[in-house]
Amino acid sequence: MQLTNRSKQVSNKEMTLAEKMYLPAIAHGLAITLKHFFQKKATIQYPEVKKYLGPIFRGHHVLKRDEQGRERCTACGLCAVACPAEAISMVAAERKKGEEGLYREEKYAATYEINMLRCIFCGLCEEACPKQAIYLRHDRFLPVFTERDEVIYGKDKLVERLDDRYVRTDSEVKATPTEPSLSRSAN
Amino acid sequence: MILVIFGVTLLIAMYSTYAERKVAAFMQDRLGPNRAGPFGLLQPLADAGKMFFKEDFIPSQANKWLFILGPCLAILTALMSSAVIPFGEGFKFDDLTIPFQGVELNIGILYVFGVVSLGVYGLMVGGWASNNKFSLLGAIRAASQNISYEIALGLAMIAILMMTGSLSIRAIVEQQHGFAWNLFNQPLGFIIFLTCAFAECNRTPFDLPECETELVGGYHTEYSSMKLGFYLFAEYINMFVSSALISSLYFGGYNYPGMDWVRETLTSSLGASTGYNLATLVGTLVLFGKIFFFIFFFMWVRWTLPRFRYDQLMNLGWKNLFPLAILNVIVTGAGLLYNIRYASWIIVAVAVVVVLASSARAPKGAIQPQRS
């Protein structure tokens, strides 16, 4: 199996005097390291400079609202079932009169909590959701937490803010391929 | 004056640690330390602070006093050897002339050799007192390596002593006035001296005494806190001193082409003493440029070459460098006797011819693949 075209055939033939002297080889090696000395560095200065991680990166969770700003989640619990780390828990509640502007369906999640110590960012909740309500943002990391009481993310941190809407901008990836609408049309 | 030189030596050793990390990083396409201060310039201070606040641990089975003595000896000898290096011509105050040098010894070069040999005791005592097999092995390696390479080092330098006829480093430097550097008379001696200097400083490719892959940490395995810091510091001071020595012996020290012209213009325009002092400072800067280049070269080689095996190290020292150094001495002597100035180049020319002949005779054609 050839991995690169830089492999060299080794041999144990007798070395010539020039090779025994090491000096030409040393000069060659020094030239190589000096070339690298002036090359562009590969380092990305992480906290200051952040690399774009691609359109399918799975980062911070977000509970989507629809176009009118209503929460899409209907607290069906499929995400919690799909979650292999059992990180998601929720309590469902019935929508009252006058709350139609807040929740899209008649049932909604009164609390929705993700334990970020358990979450493995696999994205199965995103795939399981029939209402396209939960997404893992491709453009944002989960902030670092250092205290136990910062671990559980409730609706206050998860629900999409109206002034900070999340859209998957990349034209190639409009939605996850297994998203219900897409897979249904494929079947 | 001596305190100034010690201070400068320590400062340079401090920033050598920083430079080492930066050079290493740059050669590996990284950026290196850049968090403490601008460009990470405060990193040595942070390192020193860390070293001071670490637990100072002495193993219970170790010989306590020798254990403490080891790093002290190492850093003491390393610092002492910087005293005789001439950093510049001198400063004139009216009729008083102070040479820019710690101590002017007429046997300066012997003094350096003696002190450097004493430096082995620092490693030996420390390694033995640790009561640890790895430390002892590292110490023994350090001692045998230093003894072996000191011979070739000394012989390479004897050729220079024969040409200059003086043991004083200042006299040697003054003879290389302008551009008459010893490098052009002693190319082979320079290569031998450089190689042996690497070995004496325990730098890669000769850093077997602290070979991490075999000996954990070598002679300083058991050391922690500032004692370890002293050992590492001593290594960098040694590096600085040997760079200074190489520049003084082979690269003309504070001499540079056109130095007479510079001094004349400065003295004629600024007055005798100020101009002279300024000219001295320019020479010192030139010397430091050379020293920094060699410190960089030490690091450059460190991040290029892998470590020798122990038998290869001994073979190189005793079977190659030692006879070559003797040959160099003989040829230089003959050159002096028959008044041929560049006699040492004959060896180089012969070596090149032999090398070309041997590579011409080597079997050509496809490389036979090694059977696995």
**B34-51 confidence digits (pLDDT tens):** 887 788 888 888 888 888
Residue B262 lies in a domain: yes
DSSP code string of B85-138:
-EEEEEEEETTEEEEEES---TTHHHHHHHHHHHHHHHHHHHHHHTT-HHHHHH
Contacts of B5 (CB under 8 A, 6+ apart): B82, B83, B85, B87, B101, B102
Res. B364 pLDDT band, cuts 50 70 90: low
Is the pLDDT at B109 greater than 50, yes or no? yes
From B103, B110, B70, select the one nearest B85 (Cα to Cα): B103
Q: Chain A within 8 Å of B359 (Cβ-Cβ)?
A: yes
Q: Chain B within 8 Å of A41 (Cβ-Cβ)?
A: yes
Contact B52, B267 (CB under 8 A): no
User: pLDDT tens across B183-212, in order?
Assistant: 777 888 888 888 888 888 888 788 877 777
Diameter of chain A measured on Cα atoms: 94
Q: Chain A within 8 Å of B367 (Cβ-Cβ)?
A: yes
User: pLDDT tens across A37-86, in order?
Assistant: 888 888 888 777 777 777 778 888 988 888 888 888 888 889 999 999 99
Residue A84: its pLDDT value, please? 92
Is the pLDDT at A171 greater than 70, yes or no? no
Quote the percentage of chain B above a pLDDT of 90.
Answer: 0
Average pLDDT over all residues of chain B: 82
Q: What's the alpha-carbon Rg for chain A, to the nearest Å?
A: 27
Measured in angstroms, the CA of B231 and the nearest CA of chain A are apart by 28
The SS3 call for residue B299 is helix
User: pLDDT tens across A90-144, in order?
Assistant: 999 998 888 888 888 888 888 999 999 999 998 898 888 888 888 888 878 888 8
Is the pLDDT at B2 greater than 60, yes or no? yes
Most B-contacting residue of A7, A37, A43 (CB-CB within 10 A), to test interface: A37
B44 upstream amide cis, omega within 30 of 0: no
Q: Chain B within 8 Å of A49 (Cβ-Cβ)?
A: no
Distance CA A110, CA A155 (A): 9
Is the pLDDT at A177 greater than 50, yes or no? no
Question: CB distance A30–B368 less than 8 Å?
Answer: no
The SS3 call for residue B176 is coil
Residue B310: its pLDDT value, please? 83
What is the CATH class of A61-186? alpha beta
Q: Please count the residues of chain B.
A: 372
Distance CA A155, CA A142 (A): 15
Question: CB distance B355–A18 less than 8 Å?
Answer: yes
Res. A179 pLDDT band, cuts 50 70 90: very low
Res. B362 pLDDT band, cuts 50 70 90: low
Is the pLDDT at B174 greater than 70, yes or no? yes
Residue B199 lies in a domain: yes
> Could you state, in order of their start, the residue ranges of all structural domains in chain A?
61-186
Residue A187: its pLDDT value, please? 34
More confident residue, B192 or B252: B192
Residue A91: its pLDDT value, please? 92
Is the pLDDT at B230 greater than 80, yes or no? yes
Q: How many A×B Cβ pairs under 8 Å? A: 65
A-chain CB neighbours of B38 within 8 Å are none
Q: Which of A17, A18, A37 lies at the smallest CB-CB distance from B26?
A: A37
Q: Please state the separation of Cα A20 from the chain's center in Å.
A: 53
From B92, B117, B70, B367, select the one nearest B238 (Cα to Cα): B117
Question: CB distance B27–A17 less than 8 Å?
Answer: no
Question: CB distance B304–A33 less than 8 Å?
Answer: yes
Distance CA B91, CA B280 (A): 7
Q: Chain A within 8 Å of B28 (Cβ-Cβ)?
A: yes
Contacts 24+ apart (CB under 8 A), B214-218: B215/B134, B215/B137, B215/B138, B215/B141, B216/B134, B217/B134, B217/B135, B217/B138, B218/B127, B218/B134, B218/B135, B218/B137, B218/B138, B218/B139, B218/B141, B218/B142
Is the pLDDT at A186 greater than 50, yes or no? no
Total tally of structural domains belonging to chain B: 1
Looking at residue A136, the DSSP 8-state letter turns out to be E
In which residue are the tokens 């007798």 written? A14
Contact A108, A73 (CB under 8 A): yes
**Parent domain of B130:** 58-358
Looking at residue B368, the DSSP 8-state letter turns out to be P
User: pLDDT tens across B57-80, in order?
Assistant: 888 887 888 888 888 888 888 888
Residue B51 lies in a domain: no
pTM for this prediction: 0.78
Measured in angstroms, the CA of B53 and the nearest CA of chain A are apart by 26
More confident residue, A185 or A172: A172
